[in-house]
Amino acid sequence: MKTIIIDDEHHCVGYLQVLVQQHCPSVQVVATAGNGVEGLSVIRQHAPELVFLDIEMPIMNGFRMLEELGDVDFQLIFTTAYDRYALRAFKFSALDYLLKPIDPLELKNAVARSQKLPPIDPQQLVLLKNHLHQNDPVLSNKIAIPSLEGFTFLNLDDIVTCEAESNYTKIHLANGKQMLISRTLGDVEDTLEGKGFFRAHKQFLINLKHIEKYMKGDGGYVVMSNNQTVSIARSRREDFMLLFGRM
């Protein structure tokens, strides 16, 4: 798997090269670059299958480089020092990343995923940029959902509930459709933190905008806009009531 590393921190490039050599035998690093300008040159020269890319670089950052490049016909793994709140932007756009300092096991898993993922959709990069910098409130309300065929882009307001199904999550949409995604409900909850969703109990994450009624009977439950009824766990009831300013 022909690979290029693009990062302005030379020690990070060297460390990643060592990790790749030790833990990813299918990966061959054919070139490195210290900024986006050099990155454009080596990508065009070597036509890689995989690129490890840092975003924050001098001269030309990672986003500008990708815009200049046009079509992205290789797998992309971002290497970043962003904090965990900014990392949610990568999850929203369904793009893979490695947090510095890079962990060998996470590197192996990211490379394995890259060999199975569909080609990158340009809108994923737009979503990532907007979620990182909050440039567009409309786009910042979208999320990319990966599937076997590619990606589905959803408005958060269209999601009514997210239901746990073992290691998968079923997404119930306002139009009555359902989507099954290969993420746990815990992963989905982490991604949607601060976006108006509430973990009602271990089985359900609900969109607060879609609550129609709260019923005190049967231990307390909500009726959603799609007529789903979702129980509020006893341990979550106080937090739920506080959201609406009532006790």
Domains for the chain: give ranges and CATH numbers: 2-133 (3.40.50.2300), 149-243 (2.40.50.1020)
Mean pLDDT (whole number) for 66-72: 90
Lowest-confidence range among 18-22, 38-42, 67-71, 185-189?
67-71
pLDDT of 32: 97
Dump pLDDT digits (tens) for 147-188. 767 788 999 999 999 999 988 999 999 999 999 998 899 999
Dump pLDDT digits (tens) for 77-89. 999 987 776 788 8
Better-predicted residue by pLDDT, 81 or 200: 200
Mean pLDDT (whole number) for 68-77: 92
Indicate whether 237 pLDDT > 50.
Answer: yes
- Whole-number Å distance between alpha carbons of 111 and 131: 24
pLDDT of 150: 79
List of E strands, 24-149: 28-33, 50-54, 75-80, 96-99, 142-146
- Whole-number Å distance between alpha carbons of 227 and 139: 28
Asked if residue 242 lies in contact with residue 232, where contact means CB atoms within 8 angstroms, the answer is no
pTM score above 0.95: no
- Whole-number Å distance between alpha carbons of 169 and 62: 32
Mean pLDDT (whole number) for 97-122: 91
Better-predicted residue by pLDDT, 244 or 157: 157
Indicate whether 55 pLDDT > 70.
Answer: yes
Q: What angle do the packed helices 62-69 and 122-133 form, to 10 degrees?
A: 150
Burial 80-115 (b: 16+ CB within 10 A, else e): bebeeeebbbbbbbbbbbbbbebeeeebbebbeebe
Dump pLDDT digits (tens) for 130-157. 888 766 666 668 999 887 677 889 999 9
Indicate whether 247 pLDDT > 50.
Answer: no
Asked if residue 168 lies in contact with residue 183, where contact means CB atoms within 8 angstroms, the answer is yes
